[in-house]
Amino acid sequence: MYLKSIEIHGFKSFANKIFLEFHNGITGIVGPNGSGKSNIADAVRWVLGEQSAKQLRGSRMEDIIFSGTQTRKPQGYAYVAITLDNSDHKLPIAFDEVVVARRVYRSGESEYIINGSPCRLRDVQELFMDTGIGKEGYSLIGQGQIDKILSGKPEDRRELFDEAAGIVKFKKRKQEAEKNLEEEKQNLYRITDIISEIEKQIEPLEKQSATAKIYLNLKEELKNLEINQFSKEYDRLHNSKEQITEKLEIVASDFSISKKALESTKEEYHKLETQ
Residue 177, C-beta contacts closer than 8 angstroms, at least 6 positions apart: none
The answer to whether position 18 is within a domain reads: yes
Per-residue pLDDT, 103: 95
Residues in the chain: 275
Distance CA 65, CA 79 (A): 9
The answer to whether position 208 is within a domain reads: no
The answer to whether position 171 is within a domain reads: no
The answer to whether position 75 is within a domain reads: yes
The answer to whether position 7 is within a domain reads: yes
The answer to whether position 268 is within a domain reads: no
Which segments in the chain show pLDDT lower than 70?
A: 130, 132, 134-150, 152, 156-157, 159-169, 275
What is the DSSP-derived secondary structure letter of residue 79?
A: E
The answer to whether position 161 is within a domain reads: yes
State the residue range of the domain holding 99.
Answer: 2-166
What is the DSSP-derived secondary structure letter of residue 75?
A: P
Domain count, the chain: 1
CATH of the domain at 137: 3.40.50.300
The answer to whether position 210 is within a domain reads: no
